[in-house]
A and B are shown apart, each in its own frame.
Chain A
């Protein structure tokens, strides 16, 4: 049994890990995909989307926030987990206003790509049709909260990497929403810049650049060419810095 040292087993496959790595870290370094939306390698994990929930030694845990432990037996790509992931993705769809055909992010959107990856054919749950404020006060960037999935990636990117702390999530339960850290609450009063990681990391169409519509045609976009399960294996904050 000495073979199990510094190894975890994901769906039976032995994967090495280093002390301090999470199950997600170890999996991604070994090119094993665990579905995720709120995680981005290089940023502090949050564990809010719950797509990366795996079964580790019989317990359901978020892979992005759970430390890898030697000998851990992990189920990841199973029918049960993928069915739950599909349901959670559907929840994210109905909670916001995600109308892919009219969204500029279509093809570059991780929520949409996740839907395709999980064979989601319909949204299943009744739509919430929320009314959430749009913010177009910034000269270069606009905020469409209707498409926000509350993953908090922009919050962490701005705080940890850009060192600007532009965003936060406020409100409880159904009222949870992305807010801007300015007295007016307006993005235009913030020092967010188009080159900031926070402005580029949004997985959906909530943080968008103005005057940059359809530069890459539909059909040739990121997830038109590759599955999210492949793209996600090569993501890291350091590649994102301009």
Chain B
């Protein structure tokens, strides 16, 4: 249908099957069809695509949403985030579902009907406990809904026929600001840019002081200029829409409401650096947005805003393709994302060289996140002065916050940089707040005494996650959740992160179980230092932040649960005797240590 009128320069079309041959997409189709990807299918894919079997196997093994053992016809993945997770309410919803369906987490029921497990944050933190049902988000889960859902599964009703409101995802924009208040006319910023040359456009981005919104804050204009000047005949624009940081969902909303501005920002970048090809790397959890995004792309091709001779400008051609991930937080790291784009496991590359000189296929590549590209489009449309007039000196512009946790109105809040944490808390109706985790588990845990601190690159930096914890929370349970998250998401490439994150998870668990001693706390400090200083990439560098923050700001939470001995073993001695008890068929008091 679409191929008739959207032939790109490369002769490929841009319909829904575009990139159908991408390894991640091939594997997704196989997973959907066969509910797992067994060795014979891996071999088949390898043969057909001319890849080594080991590469295909490595990819299947790496991504959470590919399985080597079959999953059920109804496969439910519950978010385990502190905001949209199955334990964020009073009841453990995963346990409830498993009990009602008679399944064990991570194992398919023998009749092949159902399976359930947990997964890292799915970005529905403003919608209460949520899960993916065969990959599609289902929100606002509670005991009632779980019971109904189990009944529907028992009645063999297809999720397509489940109540539509279970799948209703709202935008919850509670405080629009600079970007959200001033929508762009399609093509308006491109028209402005094309009046002058590419360098003039880049100059505006530099002038605006725009910094990357992913959290690290590299100057966007500088990045684009570096890429333009980098050696190479082909350049790429990549949008990182893999917002996996637990508690972040602003890209979900931007992709839903501002996809045009995003694609426009990417097209501007292409104009600036001289790229003809761009990719949107969409996290697998947001696959449900794919149809919408493809429709927007199609419309832009039809309007001459993508494809050959954009807006009639001879020689300015740009195509955008969408690649959908398959469940791996690490792919939010730009070089891991590029590896994933290339059909490989998402293992971060050695940097330098950086993507601006050696990115996708070794070519100069700009990687920016969704919000950054949208901000760039705004700057070109409305001018850099208006942009840099907002915010602080070192952090011009505005920031979208994904606010969730213990507050009246979770959702999207856009503020000029420099807003205080307290202001955000007041606006979203958060009371009796104990702590806020800013920037997700990789960010900082901020205590009440520091709520006057400000959201900005020079103070508290964040990619957008803003998790609120009231006084009811046991902060140690949050540390435990985060430690588990990092151990699960570590790519496994380097020793300190692969082993260290697991050791941290175990140590925090030991303390939370009441078996920890001061010796364990000292051990955690030492271990945190190794993981954060000696790891290969940002995941390891930040994985212990939440623990160190906790120890610094909330020492009581840990001190109060420590055992009084100077040493307790790493394992539970009594539990370790279980096998012996079973063998001897004893369970009397003398067969126990406590």
Given contacts A126-B571, A176-B498, contact A150 B492 (CB under 8 A): yes
In the complex, the answer to whether B61 meets A173 with C-beta atoms within 8 Å is: no
Nearest opposing residue in chain B for A64, CB measure: B350
Residue-wise interface mask of B (467-495) relative to A, using a CB-CB cutoff of 8 A (1 in contact, 0 not): 00000000000000000000111111111
Contacts of A125 in B (CB 8 A): 499, 503
Complexed CA–CA distance, A126 and B505 (Å): 12
Complexed CA–CA distance, A175 and B535 (Å): 18
In the complex, the answer to whether B526 meets A49 with C-beta atoms within 8 Å is: no
Given contacts A88-B534, A170-B57, A171-B61, contact A50 B39 (CB under 8 A): no
Complexed CA–CA distance, A210 and B500 (Å): 34
Is residue B43 within 8 Å, beta carbon to beta carbon, of the partner chain? yes
Nearest opposing residue in chain A for B353, CB measure: A67
Complexed CA–CA distance, A184 and B40 (Å): 9
Given contacts A174-B498, A183-B53, contact A87 B526 (CB under 8 A): yes
Contacts of A175 in B (CB 8 A): 61, 492
In the complex, the answer to whether B54 meets A173 with C-beta atoms within 8 Å is: no
In the complex, the answer to whether A172 meets B490 with C-beta atoms within 8 Å is: yes
Given contacts A47-B350, A181-B52, contact A172 B495 (CB under 8 A): no
Contacts of A84 in B (CB 8 A): 529-530, 533-534
Is residue A119 within 8 Å, beta carbon to beta carbon, of the partner chain? no
In the complex, the answer to whether A60 meets B534 with C-beta atoms within 8 Å is: yes
Given contacts A47-B350, A94-B499, A185-B39, contact A171 B492 (CB under 8 A): yes
In the complex, the answer to whether A181 meets B492 with C-beta atoms within 8 Å is: no
Nearest opposing residue in chain A for B63, CB measure: A172
**B interface, over-half SS:** helix
| CB of B403 to closest CB in A, whole Å | 30
In the complex, the answer to whether A185 meets B502 with C-beta atoms within 8 Å is: no
Residue-wise interface mask of A (82-121) relative to B, using a CB-CB cutoff of 8 A (1 in contact, 0 not): 0010011001101100000000000000000000000000
In the complex, the answer to whether A53 meets B503 with C-beta atoms within 8 Å is: no
Is residue A128 within 8 Å, beta carbon to beta carbon, of the partner chain? yes
| CB of B22 to closest CB in A, whole Å | 19
Tally of B interface residues using CB under 8 Å: 45
Contact of B530 among A49, A88, A173, A179 (CB under 8 A): A88
Is residue B300 within 8 Å, beta carbon to beta carbon, of the partner chain? no
In the complex, the answer to whether B498 meets A168 with C-beta atoms within 8 Å is: no
Nearest opposing residue in chain A for B571, CB measure: A126
Complexed CA–CA distance, A200 and B62 (Å): 28
In the complex, the answer to whether B61 meets A170 with C-beta atoms within 8 Å is: yes
Contacts of B494 in A (CB 8 A): 47-50
Is residue A65 within 8 Å, beta carbon to beta carbon, of the partner chain? yes
Nearest opposing residue in chain A for B58, CB measure: A170
In the complex, the answer to whether B487 meets A173 with C-beta atoms within 8 Å is: yes
Given contacts A87-B526, A126-B570, A174-B502, contact A168 B54 (CB under 8 A): yes
Is residue B3 within 8 Å, beta carbon to beta carbon, of the partner chain? no
Given contacts A94-B499, A165-B54, A172-B61, contact A50 B535 (CB under 8 A): yes
In the complex, the answer to whether B62 meets A168 with C-beta atoms within 8 Å is: no
Contacts of A184 in B (CB 8 A): 39
Complexed CA–CA distance, A149 and B534 (Å): 17
Complexed CA–CA distance, A181 and B52 (Å): 7
Residue-wise interface mask of B (23-55) relative to A, using a CB-CB cutoff of 8 A (1 in contact, 0 not): 000000000000000011001000000001111
State the 3 A-B residue pairs at the shortest beta-carbon distance, nearest first.
A176-B492, A168-B54, A181-B54
> 8 A–B contact pairs at CB < 8 A?
A50-B536, A62-B536, A84-B529, A125-B503, A126-B571, A172-B345, A173-B491, A174-B490
**Known pairs A170-B345, A181-B52, A183-B39 / 14 extra A-B pairs, C-beta < 8 Å:** A50-B535, A62-B350, A67-B352, A87-B530, A91-B496, A128-B502, A149-B495, A170-B57, A172-B62, A173-B487, A173-B498, A174-B492, A179-B54, A182-B53
Residues of B within 8 A of A (CB): 39-40, 43, 52-55, 57-58, 61-64, 328, 330, 345, 350, 352, 487-496, 498-503, 506, 526-527, 529-530, 533-536, 570-571
